[in-house]
């Protein structure tokens, strides 16, 4: 996603729930690095990583 707003809303609504693990392709991670770090610091994101294989639609979400 190029617009961080939908992810920001998702992360804001996730507050208080079990932290999530995210796997993005490198292009998404580079564009969203600041947002991902912010929500990792808040405990919303447990961890995120780059999926170097570009065989998916951009991201995976694990609970």
Using one digit for the tens of pLDDT, what is the confidence trace for 4-61? 788 889 999 998 999 988 877 777 777 788 888 999 999 999 888 776 555 555 555 5
Sign of CA dihedral 37, 33, 48, 36: positive
The answer to whether 23 and 62 are in contact (CB under 8 A) is: yes
Instruction: Give the model's pLDDT for residue 6.
Output: 86
Name the residue ranges covered by the structural domains of the chain: 5-62
Instruction: Give the model's pLDDT for residue 39.
Output: 92
Burial of residue 23 (number of CB atoms within 10 Å: 0-12, 13-18, 19+):
middle
- Long-range CB pairs of 33-40, under 8 A, 24+ apart, other chains included: 35/4, 35/7, 35/8, 35/11, 39/11
């Amino acid at each position: 996603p190029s617009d961080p707003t939908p992810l920001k809303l998702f992360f804001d609504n996730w507050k208080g729930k079990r932290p999530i693990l995210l796997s993005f392709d490198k292009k998404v991670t580079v564009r969203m690095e600041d947002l991902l770090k912010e929500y990792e610091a808040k405990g919303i994101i447990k961890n995120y990583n780059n999926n170097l294989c570009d065989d998916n639609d951009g991201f995976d979400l694990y609970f």
